[in-house]
Amino acid sequence: MARSRFGSCESQVQLCALNRRPQQKDNSDLLRKVELRRRICGEVKWANVFLAGSGFGQMFRHAWRDKARYTLALDTNSRKVDELRFHFPNVDARLADFSTFTDWPSGRRFQIGDFDTFGELYPGISHFFAKAPWRTPFYVVVGDSGPLAFKRMGHVPHQLRRGKSRTCFLGARDLDSYMERLVWPWWERIAATHGLDIVCRAWLANKEKTVAYYALKLDA
Ligand SMILES: C[S@@+](CC[C@H](N)C(=O)[O-])C[C@H]1O[C@@H](n2cnc3c(N)ncnc32)[C@H](O)[C@@H]1O
């Protein structure tokens, strides 16, 4: 297997090639998603990993496989769960909705949470922090299609609005505004609720600037 500057997984060239595959539909930004994960979690080794929206396991294959001690992978699509189980029998893959999941494994504390379901994310992430076993430092990676929803329907995710009936969000092109005014404040509230500090954070936008991919490191 080739080496890249992010580790011993596939090289950038191989990832670019994967990104161009016609069947690569729900992960068209594979390269940048993998890069974000490898950068924020470069120092992590042998972690318990929680995947919400594990899909066919692209993020597991390219970003987490070498770091994972135990992986719980949830998806609501049975075909994807079956395929993930087939390719990665060591992953604890379940057909389940991450926003209501309760069957947490005993004796495992998650150190990485990868929330890649798009759609309504924030209630499920709150649920995870309130109910799941996790430990610090905790690394979060999120694929947030809120800007796409704004572009299509003119609203931002309900939970980010914090009770305001209207949010003066400048528009889908202005992802800085989305992150600064809605997303980071939401994480500051979550961090404060659980006695955590946001140690570092990073984000990227996809080509059309309709999805924000971001990551945080949280510590006590
Ligand atoms: C962008 S794809 C994820 C790609 C995946 N992370 C990978 O590495 O290949 C989004 C996935 O989230 C799943 N999904 C959507 N809502 C979900 C929910 N509430 N709970 C669990 N999975 C969900 C979809 O079935 C879909 O497979």
What pLDDT sits at residue 181? 80
Beta bridge partners of 216: 140, 201
Residues in the chain: 220
pLDDT single digits (tens) 63-72: 999 999 999 9
SS3 (DSSP) at 88? coil
Q: Structure tokens of 11?
A: 């090289």
* Of residues 69, 75, 82, the one with CA closest to residue 98: 75
95 or 25, greater pLDDT = 95
pLDDT above 50 (res 24): no
Q: Compute the mean pLDDT over every residue in the chain, rounded to the nearest whole number.
A: 83
* Of residues 58, 178, 94, 196, the one with CA closest to residue 140: 196
Strands 134-144 and 197-205 turn out to be unpaired
pLDDT single digits (tens) 125-162: 999 999 999 999 999 999 998 776 666 666 666 667 66
91 C-alpha to center of ligand 1: Å? 16
What's 155-193 look like in SS3?
Answer: CCCHHHHCCCCCCCCCCCCCHHHHHHHHHHHHHHHHHHH
25 C-alpha to center of ligand 1: Å? 12
- Measure the CA–CA gap between 5 and 91, rounded to whole angstroms: 26
- In this prediction the pTM is 0.85
- Measure the CA–CA gap between 82 and 208, rounded to whole angstroms: 31
pLDDT above 80 (res 73): yes
- Measure the CA–CA gap between 156 and 116, rounded to whole angstroms: 17
Using most ligand atoms within 8 A of CB, pick from 34, 114, 117 the residue to mutate for ligand 1: 117
Using most ligand atoms within 8 A of CB, pick from 23, 116, 120, 145 the residue to mutate for ligand 1: 116
**Domain with residues 29-219, CATH architecture:** 3-Layer(aba) Sandwich (3.40)
- Measure the CA–CA gap between 59 and 119, rounded to whole angstroms: 18
Residues 6+ apart with CB under 8 A from 84: 54, 55, 56, 57, 60, 73, 75, 91, 93
Atom 4 of ligand 1, nearest CA residue: 55
pLDDT above 50 (res 5): no
What pLDDT sits at residue 99? 97
What pLDDT sits at residue 104? 98
129 C-alpha to center of ligand 1: Å? 19
10 or 60, greater pLDDT = 60
pLDDT above 80 (res 202): yes
The CA–CA distances, whole Å, from 176 to 29, 82, 120, 166, 195 equal: 19, 38, 20, 18, 26
